[in-house]
Amino acid sequence: MGAKTAALDLRGLKHWALGLVSPVCAILISFIMAGIVVVFSGGNPLEAYGALLRGAFGSAAGLRNTVRYTLPIIMLALSFSLCDRCGYFNIGQEGQMFTAALAVAWVPQFMGGAPGFLQILVMVLLGALVGGVMSLIPALLKFLLGINEIVIGVLLNYIATLLSSYMLLHASFADPNSSMPMSYLIEAALPAAAMVGGVVLIVLVYGLGMQRTVPGYELRMIGKNPRFSRACGLPTVRIILIMALIGGAFSGLAAVGEVAGVYHKMYEGFAAGMGYNGMTAALIGKGGSVGMVFGSLILGALQSGSVTLSVETSVPAELVQVVQGFVMFFATVNILRFGFRRNRKGGN
Amino acid sequence: MLDFLNLTVRLAAPVLLVALGGLFSLRVNIFNIALEGFMLFGCFASVVGAYLTGSVLGGILFAAAVSLLMTMVYALFVFELDVDPVICAIAVITIAGGLTRYLLIPIFHTSGRYILPPELALPTVNLPWLEAIPVLGPILNNHSILVYLALVLPFLLHIFLYKTDLGLSMRSVGLNAEAAASAGISVKKVRYFALAMNGILCGLAGAQLALSLNLFNVGMTNGRGFTALAALTLTGFEPILTLLACLLFGASDALVLMLSGEGYPVQILSMLPYVLALVVAIVPPIVRRLAKNARRRRAERTLMAPGRECPAQE
């Protein structure tokens, strides 16, 4: 009996290790491809990657920065994979972040006298709510009218970005004395420990809940086959919409962390390009929570190291974006499956 | 007013070229949301090509070539490696944004934007015989070759789709790939062809956008690829209707450009094309749904009308 469970565990471990091959390969290939780009533009890729590594992990400040960039990416990756499981492609994360950040920046305006923790609480709740509602719009349109959610999501991103630019110039929370469009300083700050703790808690709840609970099981079932789960008596559409709401709330929370925890103000374009980070991390992790945290860490390290990159070498920090794009591109390929299929063909 | 319509035609051209490119993909049932990325590659490549060869034509050809190459890589991934086309497309958009931003620095030693010398701007064509026509003349005259190409192409494409063998093959692949395959059509070849055309047209769209302003700006496509997709979903992939839809977007772009000088908040004005695209994407399905419901109610009323037997229950 004991031997049997051990064998099962070994198989599980092997499965898990095999699942790691494809994302790790994707990341390696991406670095090589980006390295080729660097060589062609007259730089030294090894020097560049060394600087990235030193910048991200070489000092206490660098490490802190890496964690700081990793946290929102984890939230966005959770948001993306939660929605992706239900067949809702949540590409509107940037729009969700911008609108949630607007709500956060507005909170001190109407409850300026209230104690700090109360303001933070309202910011968190309001940010999550606004993000969720923004995510619900494309989801509703998709499941009620069959409209492609990607087009709607992207258009909403553009509209939300422009709206936030406008609000940061003209709304009551806009700071008229700053050189660029931004909000007033937010006095009530979200402590770093709370952010780390919150994200760890959410990841744990997500990871365990997905594997060990009935709602998690139902969710996985809907992801695998929505028609079957409807036949099983699940209110499929309602569950999907709730998941879209929660997914949007996660993006909103990422924005709350950025605005109230890191910058202590909202400024124009603070979330530009972040939505794709979450998607990439979710892709590396293939929906599993460990892989997702790993993917977020790599992307966070890239961002945190990019400062050192531009200071210490002649390679511009924009390289980071190139690497990110390649990671996403190659993470789509399931190298293992491709290998197996070729083997089978050879056998026939 | 005539100025406004002239501007409308000019601003509609890049969206129209992208939309026609996307039409090729959609017609073979590939929902290619990477249009935005291919167009951005086209913008960048046109500026690089014009800079390196010192001629506008070089820029246009280079844009088409680079965009073609990128679509072929995309096609390779989607058709041969079986990747998720949507995620792969978003990866293409991310790479396009990152690479163009990055390569601007080693190639032009500047960051964010590069302005070509004005003699490398896309020249406009002045046709005296066109000028002579009263209303149409001032609207249609003084555009670049690419604008004229964009205006003629929908009609050619209509003929291609409905009057040629290859067009028929394309339509059948889009409607039912398996049936097309069993009828002896090489589905893969048709799809590669469609994506190649998609690439070339996106490249030309990028060239028109960048070279008509003789500059490259980071992220200058600004969602035009997605606007084109919204236009396509509105028109059901019909080339000539797409021309009309894109003229609508051109008009909204022109309106933004004309009103922004008059003290209206720029950010709110700039939302107009996106809001229009949103409306265009949302309203037709709602109308279709309402019409369907109305039809059903009417049918029920007729069935239940007095003097008619009720359908037997069980």
Query: From the CA of B141, how many Å to the nearest CA of chain A?
Result: 33
Query: From the CA of A107, how many Å to the nearest CA of chain B?
Result: 23
Q: Is A276 on the interface with B (CB under 8 A)?
A: yes
C-beta atoms surrounding B291 within 10 Å: 10
Task: Tell me, yes or no, whether B288 lies in a domain.
Answer: yes
Question: Tokens 């709206």 label which residue?
Answer: A163
**What's the total number of domains in chain B?**
1
Q: Contact A165/B86, CB-based, under 8 Å?
A: no
pLDDT tens per residue, range B64-95: 999 999 999 999 999 988 888 888 999 999 99
Q: Complex ipTM, two decimals?
A: 0.88
Q: If DSSP states are collapsed to H, E and C, what string results for chain A?
A: CHHHHHHHHHHHHHHHHHHHHHHHHHHHHHHHHHHHHHHHCCCCHHHHHHHHHHHHHCCHHHHHHHHHHHHHHHHHHHHHHHHHHCCCCCCCHHHHHHHHHHHHHHHHHHCCCCCHHHHHHHHHHHHHHHHHHHHHHHHHHHHHHCCCHHHHHHHHHHHHHHHHHHHHHHCCCECCCCCCCEECCCCCCCCHHHHHHHHHHHHHHHHHHHHHCHHHHHHHHHHHCHHHHHHCCCCHHHHHHHHHHHHHHHHHHHHHHHHHHHHCCCECCCCCCHHHHHHHHHHHHCCCHHHHHHHHHHHHHHHHHHHHHHHHCCCCCCHHHHHHHHHHHHHCCCHHHHHHHHHHHHHC
Find the CATH number of the domain harbouring B83. Answer: 1.10.3470
- Pick the residue from chain B with its C-alpha nearest to A335: B81
A61-120 residues touching B, CB cutoff 8 A: 89, 91
pLDDT tens per residue, range A34-73: 999 999 888 889 999 999 999 999 899 999 999 999 999 9
User: What would the two tokens of residue A286 be?
Assistant: 């293939």
Of A163, A166, A318, the CB nearest to B98: A318
Q: What is the pLDDT of residue B179?
A: 93
In which domain, by residue range, is B70 found? Answer: 2-116+135-303
Torsion angle (degrees, nearest 10) of CA B28, B33, B37, B40 = 80
Cβ neighbours of A138 in B, within 8 Å: none
Nearest-5° angle of CA A170, CA A173, CA A174?
45
Res. B247: pLDDT tops 50: yes
Q: What is the pLDDT of residue A345?
A: 41
Q: What is the pLDDT of residue A218?
A: 87
Cβ neighbours of B291 in A, within 8 Å: none
Residues B181-194: what's their mean pLDDT?
93
Q: In angstroms, what is the C-alpha Rg of chain B?
A: 22
Q: Contact A147/B282, CB-based, under 8 Å?
A: yes
Task: Tell me, yes or no, whether B88 lies in a domain.
Answer: yes
**Architecture label for domain A22-38+45-331:** Orthogonal Bundle (1.10)
Q: Contact B278/A332, CB-based, under 8 Å?
A: no
B203-232 residues touching A, CB cutoff 8 A: 222-223, 226-227, 229-230
Of A147, A165, A276, the CB nearest to B94: A276
Task: Tell me, yes or no, whether B173 lies in a domain.
Answer: yes
Res. B308: pLDDT tops 70: no
Query: From the CA of B130, how many Å to the nearest CA of chain A?
Result: 38
Q: Is A314 on the interface with B (CB under 8 A)?
A: no
DSSP B194: H
Q: What is the pLDDT of residue A6?
A: 56
pLDDT tens per residue, range B158-183: 999 999 999 999 999 999 999 999 99
Q: Where are the domains positioned within chain A?
A: 22-38+45-331
Task: Tell me, yes or no, whether B84 lies in a domain.
Answer: yes
DSSP B313: P
Q: Is B97 on the interface with A (CB under 8 A)?
A: yes
Task: Tell me, yes or no, whether B266 lies in a domain.
Answer: yes
Q: Residue B48: which of B123, B125, B110 has the closest Cα?
A: B110
Q: Is B94 on the interface with A (CB under 8 A)?
A: yes
What is this structure's pTM?
0.89
Question: Tokens 């450009």 label which residue?
Answer: B257
Q: What is the pLDDT of residue A347?
A: 35
- Residue numbers in chain A where pLDDT is lower than 70: 1-9, 335-348
Nearest-5° angle of CA B10, CA B257, CA B225?
60
Q: Residue B139: which of B233, B1, B300, B267 has the closest Cα?
A: B1
Q: Contact B265/A326, CB-based, under 8 Å?
A: no
Q: Contact A162/B271, CB-based, under 8 Å?
A: yes
Q: Residue B62: which of B52, B75, B71 has the closest Cα?
A: B52
Q: What is the pLDDT of residue B8?
A: 94
pLDDT tens per residue, range A92-135: 999 999 999 999 999 988 887 888 889 999 999 999 999 999 99
Answer yes or no: are the C-beta atoms of B91 and A328 closer than 8 Å: yes
